[in-house]
């Protein structure tokens, strides 16, 4: 019966060991599980915060990129407008150069034409004057023209032959107060 007594004691000992042995490792396991779960919760929270920070940073990056694209488009438009203004100025400058080139070809031609015309007039004028003198010498004059020439000679002379002498006394002139010129009847002194 010794065997039976020993078995009686074994079952309570096993039960005691089971109760004592199960509680201790379970408490430690439970504590380890809690710590692990706390760490996982902290890590999850940290990952969530990091994810939120990454999302905010990505949002800011997208906004900054959109702003930089808008600025780039505005700068491109300004640059294009400036190019158009420069192209317009270059075209105006080209037109002005072309006009100046035409003027530089035209102005010497005009100046040369004027100079040639003046020289031609200067050469032809004495010929025309000579022809007029010769024409007047050999062409018969009408009476009115001869009468006009005679009156001009009479008025211009110091001693008029046709006009009365008292006409010159009223009007001062070169003939008044001059000594009489000798006539054919009087000898010269």
Lowest mean pLDDT among 94-98, 108-112, 181-185: 181-185
Residue 162's pLDDT is 73
Residue 1's pLDDT is 45
pLDDT tens by residue, 107-163: 888 888 999 999 999 999 999 988 988 887 777 667 777 788 888 888 887 777 776
pLDDT at 21 over 80: no
C-alpha span between 103 and 49 (Å, rounded): 79
Would you kindly state where each structural domain of the chain is located, as residue ranges? 2-158
C-alpha span between 122 and 35 (Å, rounded): 126
Percentage of the residues of the chain whose pLDDT score is greater than 70: 71
| Average pLDDT over the chain, rounded to an integer | 79
Closest CA to 66 of 54, 58, 56: 58
Considering only residues 171 and 140, tell me which one the structure prediction assigns the higher pLDDT. 140
Q: Are 164 and 156 in contact (CB under 8 A)?
A: no
- Going 105 to 108 to 114 to 118, the CA torsion angle's sign is negative
């Amino acid at each position: 019966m010794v065997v039976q007594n020993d078995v009686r004691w074994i079952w309570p000992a096993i039960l005691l060991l089971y109760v004592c042995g199960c509680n201790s490792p379970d408490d430690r396991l439970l504590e380890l599980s809690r710590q692990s779960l706390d760490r996982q919760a902290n890590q999850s929270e940290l990952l969530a915060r990091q994810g939120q920070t990454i999302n905010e940073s990505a949002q800011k990056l997208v906004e900054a990129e959109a702003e930089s694209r808008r600025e780039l488009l505005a700068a491109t438009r300004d640059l294009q407008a400036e190019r158009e203004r420069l192209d317009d100025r270059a075209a105006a400058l080209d037109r002005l150069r072309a006009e100046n080139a035409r003027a530089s070809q035209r102005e010497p031609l005009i100046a040369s034409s004027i100079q040639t015309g003046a020289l031609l007039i200067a050469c032809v004028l004495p010929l025309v004057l000579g022809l007029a003198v010769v024409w007047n010498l050999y062409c018969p004059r009408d009476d009115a023209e001869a009468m006009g020439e005679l009156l001009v000679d009479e008025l211009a002379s110091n001693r008029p032959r046709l006009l009365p002498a008292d006409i010159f006394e009223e009007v001062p002139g070169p003939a008044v107060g001059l000594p009489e010129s000798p006539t054919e009847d009087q000898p010269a002194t």
